[in-house]
Amino acid sequence: MKSVGVITEYNPFHLGHAYQLRQMKEQTQADIIVVAMSGNVVQRGEFAILDKWKRAEIAVQSGADLVIELPLLASLQAADYFAYFGIQALSHFKVDIFAFGTETASTSQLQSYTEDVIEKEHLIDEAVPKLIAKGFSYAAASHMATQQVMSASSTDFNPSSSNHILAKQYLLQNLKLKHPMQALAIPRLDRDSMGKDLLSGSQVRSDWFHNNLSKDKVPTLTYNALQQNPTIRWEDYWDLLRYAVLSKTPSELHDTLHVREGIENRIIDQIKQAENFHQLTDALTSKRWTTSSIQRILLAILLNMNQSKWVRYAQAFEEAPFYRVLAFSQQGQAYLRLLKQDNISFQTKLKHNQTQAYFGNLRADQIYALNPRHNIREQNYQTLIHIKK
C-alpha cells in the first residue's frame, strides 16, 4: 500500500487540517494516510483542548486512516525534537511520503534550502552558544544563528515564517534517515471558498474559551466535540501547579526537566505573587525564556518529571521505540496487518505492566485526568477507536 503521513497535533482539528488531508490524498493518490499526533500534551507546553482519543477519532472521520501517538519525548521539547521524533515515527510505520504545511515555499525550494543548511550546520552550531550567552533562548539563538549564516543564500520565500521553520526541521531530520521519505509541501489555505479567513488552532481555542466560536468556523465534527466534551486549558490545573511548586525546595525544582540558570527561584517567587496562570507566565517570559519554553517547564513540574526520570525514559524509548495506535479505519487496519507481517512493532492495547518506553505518556495521561474542573475519562487504558467508513 502506498502511504502518506503527516506530523500534527490537531489542537483542535480545524478547516486547514481538513484541507491538508484532502490535498495529501489528491496529490499522492496514496492508499493510506498516517497521522503521527501528539497525545494529551502539545508542543507549546500545555494540555490539549480535547483528549487524544477524541482528536484521533475526528482525524479518522475526516480522512485519516491511521493515528499513532507521538511520545512525550516529542511534545515536551523544542521544535527540533518534535520534528525528530515525528519523522522517526512516520519512518517506523513505513510511510512513503511525508507532508507538511508551508506558507509559500515549494517542496523543491525548501529541500534545496535545507540541504544548504546541512552543509553549513557546523557554522550554525558555532554561532548558537554565542547568542545564548547574550541572553537569547535556545530556540531564538538557533533561529538567529541560521539566519546569520544563511543570509547570503538566495531564496524566493521567507525562511523565518513559522511553517517554514518547522518544515526545515522536518526535512533536516528526514535527510538523516537511512532511507529518507519523499517530501511534499502543501501550501496553507488562508481563506475558504467564500473568501473568509480560516482560523488557526490558537484562534479556535481563544474564540471557544471566549464564547465567540461560530459553527461555520470549524468542521462540524470539531464543533460538536467541543460542545459535548470537556475542553481543557492550563488554568484548570492552577492549584495543582501551585502545590507542585510550593511543595518543593529550590534544589528539588532545579532537578526538573528543562530547568536551568536559576529559573527555579523566579518560579517560586512569582507563583507566590501571581493570581492566575497567565499572570505567572507573563512574569516569567523574557528574551531568554519564551512563553512556550516556560510552559514546558511548568508542565514538567506538574508532571514531576525530573532529569533522571527523563533520561531513563528517553533511553528506554531509543532502545525499543514504543508506538501506540489510537484510531484506524478499515484501510488502516489492513495496513497494520501488513506491518505486523514485516515485524514492525506497535501497540493497540495498553497493558498494566507496560514498558518504561511509554512512561512519559502514562504520566501525562494520569495528571491530565486529574483535572479539578472537569470529569475526564480514564486515558491510559481506553480501547482504540475503529471507524468504518
Question: Residues annotated as binding site for ATP?
Answer: 7-20, 101, 163, 188
Please state the length of the chain: 389
Q: Are 335 and 348 in contact (CB under 8 A)?
A: no
Q: What distances in angstroms separate CA 181 from CA 25, 89, 112, 172, 311, one per listed residue?
A: 16, 12, 15, 12, 29
List, in order, residues 6 or more apart from 163 with CB less than 8 Å away. 100, 101, 102, 103, 188
Q: Where are the beta strands (DSSP E) in 196-349?
A: 324-329
Residues tagged in the binding site annotation: 7-20, 101, 163, 188
What φ, ψ does residue 204 adopt, rounded to 5°? Answer: -60, -45
Task: Name, in order, each residue with C-beta under 8 angstroms of 240's C-beta and a sequence gap of 6 or more.
Answer: 302, 367, 370, 372
d(CA 17, CA 170): 18
Cross-sheet strand order for the sheet of 182-187: 182-187, 97-102, 3-8, 32-37, 66-69, 324-329, 385-387
Judge if the upstream peptide bond of residue 12 is cis by omega within 30 degrees of 0. yes
Partnered with residue 42 across adjacent β-strands are: 46
Q: CA dihedral in degrees (287, 293, 299, 304; nearest 10)?
A: -90
